[in-house]
Amino acid sequence: MMSSPQSYLAMQEHADHVFGAQYDDVRERYASEIRDLEMDDLITQEHYEYLQKVQDAGFDSPEEYEAYWKHLLETAEREHYNG
């Protein structure tokens, strides 16, 4: 049994809509995953840049670096308010 050209076009339009939507979902999922990976790369890069700054400043660890800056700021505030 042969379908009419109109029913074939209707089926083709429906198939394009269904499968096209599936492909849109896949494209959106991949685009989202790419954005997530790019964000992870940026965070990783910033972390390593920070570690390099710590090392360039002559500290052995980020904790040591943070403690130094905390002490420096507290000292400056004390001297400013008590001076």
Residue found under tokens 């505030």: 77
Predicted confidence (pLDDT) per residue in 4-36, tens digit: 777 878 888 777 776 666 677 778 888 999 999
Predicted confidence (pLDDT) per residue in 31-54, tens digit: 999 999 999 999 999 999 999 999
Query: Which CA distances in Å does 41 have to 11, 38, 48, 77?
Result: 45, 5, 11, 37
Q: Is 12 exposed, middle or buried (0-12, 13-18, 19+ CB in 10 A)?
A: exposed
Q: How many residues does the chain have?
A: 83
Query: Which CA distances in Å does 43 have to 10, 20, 35, 48, 77?
Result: 49, 34, 12, 9, 32
- Tokens coding 75: 């000292």
